[in-house]
Structure 1
Amino acid sequence: MHLSKISKGSRFENRDKRRKANVVLNTLIGIVVLLIIVIGSSLMLGGNDSEQASKDTNEETGSNQIENKEEKDKEQSSSKEDTESEQDSSNETDASTEDDENSEEPTEEEEQGEEVVTEGDPNSNVEEIVENPSWEPVGTSQAEPHVARYDKSSQDWAEMTKAMSSATGLSESDMTIWFLGNNGSPNDAVGTISSKDKSQNYRVQITWVENEGWKPVKVEKLKETETR
């Protein structure tokens, strides 16, 4: 009887120990599982944070690159505009300088002047009057001091005929000289001429230029031939 009780008590004691051991073991298993879950969650969240941080970094880098590119494009565009503006300004300055030089330096035509043609008095025999500052002396082989001679065989006569031809465009071979004489001073002369067929009639005033010969001064185109 006594042994039976002792055996029965031992079984209860062993069962109680196993139960406690099971509880402890289950608790440990639960703790391990919980730790696994916590660690796994931390790793997953950390990975997502890293990916998000990497994504944010990439986006920020891309944004910075775009901003830098835009800034660089703006700088290049501004530089190009400045260069073009400077070039335009330089071209305008050159053009202005050239215009100033052109305006300051009169051309040969301006220095010589333009031909001036005016209508004659309707009640006179003068159809029109021509004055041309570009007329030049015809040259001379005569020495100074010059004394005008009006005989047909003289050198003066030949040079005066040449001067009247150059002013009117009438050739000497087609020219009839109706009158050639003094025009009020020793160095001024006037001649009345026409073409051979009398279709062109002129009165020409000429003046002597020292060492250069006779120079046309005025041409009057006449309506009819004048013998004086």
Structure 2
Amino acid sequence: MPTSRVNKFEKRRKNTKLLSTLIVAGSILLVVLFGILIFGGDETDEADNEQGSPQEEETDSASEKQDASAENNTDPNGSTDETGSTEDSDTEEGNNQEADTEQVDPSDDNVIEAYTGDWQPVGTEQSEPHTINYDEGSQDRHEMRTAVASATGLDEDKFTMWWIERNGDQQVVNTVSDPDETEIYRVYNTWLANEGWQPTKVEQLKENDQKARFE
């Protein structure tokens, strides 16, 4: 009988120890599961956020490109398109030139067309009283070239001044042409005190009627 009681006690002690072990293992397992649920969810959210970042950056980059594109199409002066603005400006300038000129009767049969305009004096560095200096390289010759270019559109540095003819008090007629003599003009200039030479009339010529002077 004593031996049987001892066996029962040992068996009961082993069962109790096994149960305690199972309880501890279960507790650890629960802790691990909770940890996975808590920290695993945060990592998932963090991973989602990390995956979302490049998309947000890409969206921001696209927005910046659209803004830059719109900015490039805006001219500092308010035009919506740089190329269109230049063309519009040139067209308006041409229209203004046409509107500011008026056809008049030609002075002789060598004239293709004649017109007057409201061209402005070109300015001067000369003082009053003014006396015309016809010499090559003079300030008058230089300022006359500027006046001729403003009225005809010829390149001031390249056109040929063939002849300067007195046309009254402080008035001259300049016969000029482009280097190829495909454009030949008489330009009537008047001196305005302290303001310089002012073109008042232009005649486009069929032939250079002053060239014979140099042949």
Normalised by the length of structure 1, the TM-score is 0.47
TM-score, structure 2 normalization: 0.50
Larger-Rg structure: 1
Q: Which has the higher helix share?
A: 1
